[in-house]
Amino acid sequence: MPTTTTDRRYPLIVTADPVLLDDLLRLAAAGSAEVRVANDAVAARAGWAAAPFVLLGADAVEEVVRARMPVRGAVMLVARADQQVPPWRFAEALRVEQVVVLPQAESWVVDRFAEHALGSPTRGRVLAVVGGRGGAGASVLAAALAVTGRRRDLDTLLIDADPFGGGVDLVLGWEKMQGLRWPDLVDASGLVSPPTLMSALPGEGHLAVLSFDQSELDGVPLEALASALDAGRRGRDLVVIDLPRRFDEPSLLALTAADRAYLVVPAELRACAAARRVAAVAGHYCATLSVVVRGAPPLGVAPAELARALELPLAGELRSEPRLDQQLEVGQAPAANGRGPLAELCRELLRDLVPRRHRAVAR
């Protein structure tokens, strides 16, 4: 989680706009970065030159120019979509590197914070999966993406963030496997060693899972989720998060941190209507939200039509797979054999990912 600090080595946020400040602190949390906050030019002066980069609110630009702050690199002008960007002459005076408009550029801001926190631009990809309605199949898709990641030699972390979803470890057939679950991590905060966490979780090969147990924990602890996300980005190639449809603060944090989010919607009119509400919230926090349609005509709505109705890109179609329910009943993980429509869809969704050890060789 971010904390305000007087240490000049941290990114500097300059704004007196409480809404913009809350947004930037949330994005810093998603990127696991600590920051320094200044409400005006006077407070900003002490850390202006030494900060690795500055996020300057649109409300503070003119004041900072008039205060004759020294010219420096890596200044980003940040505005909310409902704000008017200050006249460009002020940005030119400060040699602003980029104009960032929220919420459209939230993923970019999270990446900037994460790169600073990790000391390197190399980090694991974060994918979030949420159902458009109950029983949409989000947990199955999340588990299948993780299994496919393992089959592709990707170091993968599957995170169950839905306390009422039945458990992704059950979807994998791993509910009896030994290892830490969410109740064991309720007091976790700050940076966690990736190898330490991954070795303590239920896992097999390149796949580790963080899920619930049978206790009455009714939600994911916010700081524990932030720590798990940070460890996953630092130590894994792929992090897949299974999210609840009723968003809370932890799930909004996960959406903000996600590089991509997939909304799973059955090809039905009623499911499309229910998914509209979920899409409206999720799309605000993740600009890369797209839809995966389960099922197809002649009995349902055409995938392209459903995507247009939700005003979302179509990420893919999950065709009928009659044996899937039988496989899940006997504890066989989805997409485990690499065959069938679900496995094909997952390979397509992960097609641009390669193990980080291969990326290191390529560099």
- Looking at the structure, do residues 157 and 182 belong to the same domain, yes or no? yes
- Looking at the structure, do residues 42 and 183 belong to the same domain, yes or no? no
- Looking at the structure, do residues 114 and 186 belong to the same domain, yes or no? no
| 4 lies in some domain | no
Lowest mean pLDDT among 5-19, 199-213, 252-266: 5-19
Final residue of a domain: which of 98, 118, 138? Answer: 118
| 296 lies in some domain | yes
- Looking at the structure, do residues 109 and 132 belong to the same domain, yes or no? no
| 1 lies in some domain | no
Counting residues of the chain whose pLDDT is more than 90, the rounded percentage is 40
| 3 lies in some domain | no
- Looking at the structure, do residues 197 and 170 belong to the same domain, yes or no? yes
- Looking at the structure, do residues 135 and 86 belong to the same domain, yes or no? no
| 85 lies in some domain | yes
Indicate the average pLDDT of the chain. 84
Q: Check: CB of residue 20 under 8 Å from CB of residue 78.
A: yes
| 6 lies in some domain | no
- Looking at the structure, do residues 109 and 134 belong to the same domain, yes or no? no
pLDDT at residue 112 in the model: 82
Q: Check: CB of residue 185 under 8 Å from CB of residue 209.
A: no
Of the candidates 324, 274, 275, 270, the one whose C-alpha atom is nearest the C-alpha of residue 300 is 270
pLDDT at residue 360 in the model: 40
CATH of the domain at 99: 3.40.50.2300
- Looking at the structure, do residues 196 and 294 belong to the same domain, yes or no? yes
- Looking at the structure, do residues 175 and 241 belong to the same domain, yes or no? yes
| 98 lies in some domain | yes
| 176 lies in some domain | yes
Question: Number of folded domains in the chain?
Answer: 2
Q: Which two tokens mark 341?
A: 């429509």
- Looking at the structure, do residues 108 and 238 belong to the same domain, yes or no? no
- Looking at the structure, do residues 192 and 308 belong to the same domain, yes or no? yes
pLDDT at residue 3 in the model: 45
Distance of CA 143 to the CA centre of its chain: 16
Average pLDDT of the residues in 306-323:
90
pLDDT category, 22, cuts 50, 70, 90? Answer: very high
Q: How far apart are CA 29 and CA 45, in angstroms?
A: 24
Q: Which two tokens mark 161?
A: 């963030």
pLDDT category, 7, cuts 50, 70, 90? Answer: very low
Average pLDDT of the residues in 329-352:
90
Q: What is the pTM of this model?
A: 0.69
> In terms of residue numbers, what domain contains 204?
125-362
Of the candidates 205, 229, 206, 211, the one whose C-alpha atom is nearest the C-alpha of residue 124 is 229
Final residue of a domain: which of 118, 145, 180? Answer: 118
Lowest mean pLDDT among 98-102, 196-200, 291-295, 298-302: 298-302
CATH of the domain at 317: 3.40.50.300
Final residue of a domain: which of 118, 153, 179? Answer: 118
- Looking at the structure, do residues 130 and 257 belong to the same domain, yes or no? yes
Average pLDDT of the residues in 210-219:
79
Average pLDDT of the residues in 332-356:
89
Q: Which two tokens mark 361?
A: 């060789």
54-66 per-position pLDDT tens digit = 999 999 998 998 8
pLDDT category, 131, cuts 50, 70, 90? Answer: very high
Q: How far apart are CA 319 and CA 88, in angstroms?
A: 50
Q: How far apart are CA 53 and CA 73, in angstroms?
A: 8
